[in-house]
Amino acid sequence: METEKPSIKSIAYTYGLYLGLLTVVGLVFQYVTGLEKNWVVSAVSVVITIIIYYYGINAFKTNNSNFLSIKEAIKVGLAMAVVGGIIGAVYAYVHYEFIQPEFIDGIREKAYNDMTAGNQNMSEEQLETATTMMNIFTSPFFLSTMTLLASTFFGLIISLIIGAIMKKEDPNLA
pLDDT digits (tens, 9 = 90+) for 118-166: 666 777 888 889 889 988 998 999 999 999 999 999 999 999 999 999 9
pLDDT digits (tens, 9 = 90+) for 41-74: 889 999 999 999 999 999 999 999 999 999 999 9
pLDDT digits (tens, 9 = 90+) for 12-42: 999 999 999 999 999 999 889 988 778 888 8
DSSP state of 95: I
Task: Check: pTM over 0.75? Answer yes or no.
Answer: yes
DSSP state of 10: H
The residues facing 168 across adjacent strands are 68
DSSP state of 46: H
Burial per residue of 128-144, b for 16 or more beta-carbon CB atoms within 10 angstroms, e otherwise: eebeeeeeeebbbeebb
CA distance 59 to 50: 14
Structural contact between residues 92 and 30, judged by C-beta atoms closer than 8 angstroms: no
The residues facing 121 across adjacent strands are none
97 alpha-carbon distance from chain centroid: 19
